[in-house]
Chains A and B, each alone.
Chain A
Amino acid sequence: MQEELFTSGRNIPHIDPSLEIWHWPISLYLFLGGIAAGILFFAALFYVLGKEKEYPAAVKFAAIIPPIALSIGLLALVYDLQHKLYTWQLYTTFRIESPMSWGAWVLLIVTPLSILWLFSYYAEIYPKTEEKLQLLKKFKFLATFEQFIKTNRIYIAYALIPLTLVLGVYTGILLSAFNARPLWNNAILGPLFLTSGLSTGAAAIILMAKTKKEKHLFGKIDLALIIIELALIVHMIMGYYAGSQVQLEAMQLLVGGDFTLMFFGFVVILGLIIPAILELIELIGYKVPVIVPAMLVILGGLIFRFVMVEAGQLTRFLY
């Protein structure tokens, strides 16, 4: 038997008995960053492939989501900082070893690019709004700028493909870089969060799609991503099983512990397996309202971020 206790009465706020340093804004941001990365990745990819006209939801119509998601995500991130007035210190340096530094800089580039991407399609996807506001007609420089972005859109697309992949991976690596939190400390978390981000992005595109062809293609893409994600989750659990004592204890939270229902019930079954089955049924030819699997995937992705952030902070090396 071993029993350890603090005799000097340590009870530091947010540290004891378990960490409560990262709250809901971080989970929300990890979800929004992932979905924005997913949508922008597909938008840029299909633009580069020259499929702009065939898949308008992916390239154009879903473009409204990333700027909003990233803006809300950034606000959430800053909201969770405790020394907010010093936020600018992030941009006085680049620290190659710190995932958060990578994230801060990537967001600084991707967020404006996502706004430019939307702006270049604004008149095309919201003709009624433009008719009312007449922004491009009233302000000559906006029209000139729009023309400039349109002619250079291909370069933005080329930049967005690698940048969105970095953004998607970083949301996972942000957590996995902390070896002090055994639940997070596994190399699979980066690819897993990227896959989940791409999958929720594809689901959002399905929701925006109007043609059957586009819905079908993104249904297929989403199905493939869900299968990859399930495989990665199996690998993650296997990694815990084969891990050290602290990782075995961390795994208990997901397998048999407090987060089992949340993780297996809501993330794995409702968020991955059921939408996969529904998408499969739809692909075979039966009629399934696509909004159901798409919403399940998106909600599953959101709950997954909350589970990982909350459960990870319960795991530790000592005490």
Chain B
Amino acid sequence: MRYAMVIDTLKCVGCSDCVVACQTENDVPIGFCRDWITETVNGSYPNLDLELKSERCNHCDNAPCVRCCPTGASHIAEGGIVMVTADECIGCGACIESCPYDARYQHPDGYVDKCTFCHHRLEKGQLPACVSVCPTKCMYFGDLDNPNSEVSQLLKNRKHKTLAPEAGTNPHVFYLI
């Protein structure tokens, strides 16, 4: 089992529904977010190229946050999901400093918080909140170890990229381009 997320940048309209769904589902404190939308404009007028992306923790294989954690609070759970155990976290901030995606934040209660791929929903056989609400259905979620899964097929047949691959983290959120 290796969970991965595939996001089609050609279909995303940047509506931020995934952001609100995550904040609601995970009770994210006001002012914080576990996922966000970026808008990238390339080129100069009139030859402009716009790319919209929904970004979050990349649940890396070579996760620097897990490597740097002094207590083992940050760990890789089943399916390759990078998780934080709140009552093992001392709030030192080493994982925040080590994340090239700046995907982690300090929860007002002190511990470090981040995207969990909606671990609690996966256990019930549901999709992550962001994926399930996407109105353009541009987000896909599944198991990369299964060659017939939707995500494996998309990555096999479509051109894709990951964020900051030069950081050497082997991220598991893929963007179709």
Residues of chain A whose beta carbon lies under 8 Å from any beta carbon of chain B: 1-8, 10-16, 19, 21-22, 80-84, 86-87, 89-90, 92-93, 95, 97-101, 103-104, 177-181, 244, 246, 313, 316-319
Query: Bound complex: CA of A181 vs CA of B110, how far in Å?
Result: 23
Interchain CB contact (< 8 A) of A244 among B41, B104, B166: B166
Q: Secondary structure of the A side of the interface?
A: loop
Question: Are B164 and A318 closer than 8 Å at their CB atoms?
Answer: yes
Contacts known (A14-B106, A81-B90, A180-B64); A19 close to B44, Cβ less than 8 A: no
Question: Are B102 and A1 closer than 8 Å at their CB atoms?
Answer: no
Contacts known (A2-B42, A15-B96, A313-B97); A100 close to B70, Cβ less than 8 A: yes
- Across the A-B interface, give the 7 residue pairs with the lowest CB-CB distance, nearest first: A82-B91, A83-B91, A83-B110, A100-B70, A21-B93, A101-B70, A180-B100
A317, chain B: closest CB distance, angstroms: 4
B46 proximity list for chain A (CB < 8 A): none
Question: Are A178 and B163 closer than 8 Å at their CB atoms?
Answer: no
Query: Bound complex: CA of A86 vs CA of B70, how far in Å?
Result: 12
Query: Bound complex: CA of A73 vs CA of B98, how far in Å?
Result: 22
Contact string, B33-76, partner A, CB cutoff 8 A, digits 1/0?
A: 10011111111100000001000000000001001111111000
Question: Are A90 and B70 closer than 8 Å at their CB atoms?
Answer: yes
B97 proximity list for chain A (CB < 8 A): 19, 21-22, 178, 180-181, 313
Contact string, B84-107, partner A, CB cutoff 8 A, digits 1/0?
A: 000111111110111111101110
Query: Mind listing 7 A-B residue pairs with CB under 8 Å?
Result: A6-B39, A15-B102, A15-B104, A90-B70, A98-B94, A100-B92, A180-B167
Query: Bound complex: CA of A82 vs CA of B113, how far in Å?
Result: 12
Contact string, B147-176, partner A, CB cutoff 8 A, digits 1/0?
A: 000000000000000011011100000000
B126, chain A: closest CB distance, angstroms: 23
Q: Apart from A4-B41, A82-B111, what 8 extra A-B contacts exist at CB < 8 Å?
A: A1-B41, A7-B37, A8-B36, A13-B31, A21-B96, A81-B92, A86-B91, A317-B164
What is the number of contacts between chain A and chain B, taking CB atoms within 8 Å?
Answer: 157
Contacts known (A1-B44, A81-B90); A179 close to B32, Cβ less than 8 A: no
Interchain CB contact (< 8 A) of A11 among B16, B31, B44, B104: B31
Q: Which residue of B lies closest to A85 (CB)?
A: B110
Interchain CB contact (< 8 A) of B105 among A14, A89, A179, A319: A14
A22 proximity list for chain B (CB < 8 A): 93, 97
Q: Which residue of B lies closest to A91 (CB)?
A: B71
B19 within 8 A of A: yes
B98 proximity list for chain A (CB < 8 A): 177-180
Question: Are A19 and B96 closer than 8 Å at their CB atoms?
Answer: yes
B14 within 8 A of A: yes
Interchain CB contact (< 8 A) of B99 among A104, A180, A313: A180
Interchain CB contact (< 8 A) of B64 among A8, A11, A179, A316: A179
A199, chain B: closest CB distance, angstroms: 26
B93 proximity list for chain A (CB < 8 A): 21-22, 80, 82
Q: Which residue of A lies closest to B104 (CB)?
A: A15
Question: Are B37 and A13 closer than 8 Å at their CB atoms?
Answer: no
Query: Bound complex: CA of A95 vs CA of B65, how far in Å?
Result: 13
A177 proximity list for chain B (CB < 8 A): 67-68, 98
Q: Which residue of A lies closest to B69 (CB)?
A: A98
Query: Which of B70, B96, B110, B164 has the most CB atoms of chain A within a 10 A radius of its CB?
Result: B70
